[in-house]
Amino acid sequence: MSLDIKEGPVMAFARIFFAVVALALCAPAWANGPSSLTDGGQAVVKDVVDGDTVVLDDGRQVRLVGIQAPKLPLGRPNYPVWPLAEEAKAGLSDMILNRAVALHLAPTPEDRHGRVLAHLIRADDGMWLQGEMLKRGLARVYTFPDNRTLGGELLDFERQARGDVRGIWALPYYALRTIDNVRYDVGTFQLVEGRVLDVAKVKKRIYLNFGADWRSDFTVKVETRNEKLFEDAGIDLLALKGKRIRVRGWIKSQNGPMIELDHPERLERLDLD
């Protein structure tokens, strides 16, 4: 015997109300992040170039802004394949090839190569592709002064993967550098941790020195025109003496190994007061 109970307005309201609540509770903490950016429409991914670049069915090539996946040569002569580059491409392909994505455009929505710069959300389930690549250890956070939006959220994903030693974080090639071994990495993009030994403001530059000899030890340089960006982010560069920090960038050779910072998302305080 079965009972045929008709749903009244009160029961219908309750069902919808609890469904909405359940959806809200299950939504990721970053749910409003990419959606706060300019809507770039929807399209289907027809090709994956590498771990951070795709081609859409409308012809647009999209660079997943905010991350850097291990690089492939892509026609560049004598360019080495970075470890896990093929795996990063395969991972992104598994997630979105021939699937619809929603584009959320970066503040600067196009790069010098004509590629669209956007955050991608998988249309059917809301997966944030940048976040998923970072969580799987298939990319690092890679921001720019004009495209810093959501940098904090992306860094959270990266820390999670690094803490779990996933993907690239299990390989020496991508391991965190120290002031003692970073001298061997000139010309590469690295994350470097250390304690600031001294801070100096010289004319239009601020230097964070990590060793006793600024002529040969690791240094971070910031142009004073960018100092306010750090201040607005709550970072007083001149007060970092004695503090442990993590910085990321391309290692240059200038009186020893150096990273030049031009926005605060590339500097993390490791011993916050």
User: Is residue 90 in some structural domain?
Assistant: yes
Q: End of a domain among 139, 170, 201?
A: 170
Residues 165 and 182 in one domain: no
pTM of the full structure: 0.85
Q: Phi, psi (5° rounding) for residue 39?
A: -70, 125
From first to last of its 273 residues, what are the pLDDT tens digits of the chain?
Answer: 434 444 554 444 444 333 333 333 333 444 457 988 999 999 999 999 999 999 999 999 999 999 999 999 998 998 999 999 999 999 999 999 999 999 999 999 999 999 999 999 999 999 999 999 999 999 999 999 999 999 999 999 999 999 999 999 999 999 999 999 999 999 999 999 999 999 999 999 999 999 988 888 999 999 999 999 999 999 999 999 999 999 999 999 999 999 999 999 999 999 875
Within this chain, do residues 86 and 39 fall inside the same structural domain, yes or no?
A: yes
Asked, for residue 6, whether it belongs to a domain, the answer is no
The last residue of a domain, from among 136, 170, 204:
170
pLDDT of the residue at 213: 86
d(CA 211, CA 5): 77
| Same domain flag for 205 and 165 | no
225 with 116, same domain: the answer is no
What amino acid is encoded at 173 in this protein? Answer: Y
CA distances from 80 to 73, 177, 272 (A): 6, 21, 38
- Count the residues in the chain: 273
CATH number, domain of 210, equals 2.40.50.140
Residues 6+ apart with CB under 8 A from 4: none
Q: Supply the pLDDT for residue 4.
A: 44
Report the C-alpha gap between 93 and 45 in whole angstroms: 9
Mark whether 165 and 181 lie in a shared domain. no
CA dihedral 144, 211, 194, 139 (to 10 degrees): 40
Domain that holds residue 54: 34-170
Q: Rounded to whole angstroms, how far apart are CA atoms 70 and 77?
A: 17
Task: Say how many domains are in the chain.
Answer: 2
Task: Determine, yes or no, domain membership for 20.
Answer: no
Residues 207, 83: one domain? no
pLDDT of residue 196: 97
Place of tokens 């750090």: 230
List of E strands, the chain? 38-50, 53-56, 61-64, 66-68, 100-110, 116-122, 140-142, 177-178, 189-195, 198-202, 205-209, 219-223, 244-250, 252-253, 257-261, 267-269
Cα 207 to Cα 205: distance, rounded to the nearest angstrom:
7
- Give the CATH number, domain containing residue 122: 2.40.50.90
Q: Would residue 14 count as lying in a domain? A: no
Please state the separation of Cα 105 from the chain's center in Å: 15
Q: Are residues 154 and 180 in the same domain?
A: no
Same structural domain, 144 and 185: no
Closest CA to 123 of 219, 35, 254, 19: 35
Q: What is the pLDDT of residue 8?
A: 54
Is position 89 within any domain?
A: yes
Tell me if 238 is assigned to some domain.
Answer: yes
| Among candidate residues 170, 203, 230, the one where a domain is terminated | 170
